[in-house]
Structure 1
Amino acid sequence: MRHDAKKISVLGLGAMGTAFARAWLDAGYGVTVWNRTVGRAEALVGEGAEVAATATEAVRASGLVVVCLLDDASVGEVLADTELVGVDLVNVTTSTPGQARERAAWAGARGARYLDGGIMAVPPMIGTPDSGAYVFYSGSPELFAAHRDGLAVPAAARYVGEEPGSAALHDVALLSAMTGMFAGVTHAFALMRGAGAEVAPKEFAGLLVEWLAAMAPAAYGVAAQLETGDYTLGVTSNLAMMVEGNGTLLRTAEEQGVSPELLAPFMALMERLLAAGHGDEGTTGVIDLLRR
């Protein structure tokens, strides 16, 4: 089953699915949509979308089928009774790498070409020029090559390999780093709201963004250490110095009436690494402690 590549079906019209569908409509694609709650399609109909009565009907309507549902289980449920032989299926539903691999095998066994996607954006960024939005894709290289232009319409398309779980892994790794950054930002603002702080939140935000931007390139140093196996490479503030400095961070939190619970787990790992004799290294060795 191969159709016109300029026709796309979107299954799932939450905020993200709707944003994808609208971006393709704006770019002149023929878009068929399906959603369990039919009312969510009404606005898109006014913009030129066709509404499918069933998921099966939507799959049959287009050369590319994009699924954006609540979770991986929903994908299996929605497509359980749908013929997928010859279908080009792109699943941008949030999932784990393991779920992506299982879903790829499931799709392949039913005769479909499959791509998994990890969306690095929020809905308002989709279809917005220069928003910085992009989507990681992994799985069938043939499918990606056939639909590269269409996939790049809502957001930049970054292919990260044939292994189906790669897109989800890239997605979760970056989101995990973001979560750690948010933890640090949260702790910093908590400190500044304590006794003796005279800096307005907006003013402090500027300082914080400037500092985090300056520190972000440290990731390249970690990468270099991992690739060479030399965890002392380029180290200026070694682990022994940082663990000593942690005492000041903890005492300051106590003085300001702020819980250290967002910082404590990482500090504990640093102390374990130091106790194991790695005081002249940076913190890269913590990665090895995390690996089970």
Structure 2
Amino acid sequence: MDVTVLEVAPRDGLQNEAEIVITDDKVRLIERSVAAGIRRIEAVSFVHPGRVPQMADAEAVMADVPRVSGVSYAGLVFNDRGLDRALAAGLDEINVVVVATDTLSDRNQGCTTEVGIERWHALARRAAESGIRRTVTIAAAFGCPFEGEVAPATVLELVHRVAEAGPEEIALADTIGVGTPDRVRTLVTGARAAAPHADLRCHFHNTRNTGYANAVAALDAGASVLDASTGGVGGCPFAPNATGNIATEDLLYLLHRMGIRTGIEPIEVAETGQWLGSVLGRPVPALLGRAGPFPSPT
């Protein structure tokens, strides 16, 4: 079994950091990720710098990333201006977020969920004309920090509606880390039925220590792509306590011990996680860099 692990540390991992990470360090993080074998990287977000100051240097980052055959760079896009910037910067794929609840959608994007769907359809049409790969992410698919539980039927109706724009990929995001494997199985199975022609991707946070169990449940239910962040860093600036992406290195250890192939070297990623901790000035949440591999290399 092969699984794609999509690295989100340069974008989702760093966007919530209060101290600005310099461009050179962002590029170095991406370089190290590519060297470890990661082939899909969400590198930047094309959002107004006043909203997310950490992403203000998106064009500068993309100007210096290694352009290696087989490596695909993604960027988060919210509107036409963001798509213009993404195309000019040479992105390979875009990710457009539709939030499952109106309250978080307004906090995150300044619009209702309904308007978010309309924006996605318009951006998807433009992106298709430009030949760029399109992912749509349904955020807060497993729960909202303001409205509480989100019914599976609500999420699956959103999947059906966003699938009408023909995305290559649909992602279900546990934005605040409240999901559990039973809910993951329900949503992934339902999403596959609602959008059979799109790849299915999942984005989990480990805020309440369920992220890795959810990742396994997603694969068992038919997801083929998992997001993860080197070091386990990250969070959403617009959702309270939305910390803790699942760590790329810890996920890789889990998958490889299960015999699932990724093409990525977990020890190299763990070393990058330790390096990232030195950049941020604190230990990262990931555990593989502390515990080491098993069996130990001889």
TM value normalised by structure 2: 0.31
More helix by share: 1
TM value normalised by structure 1: 0.32
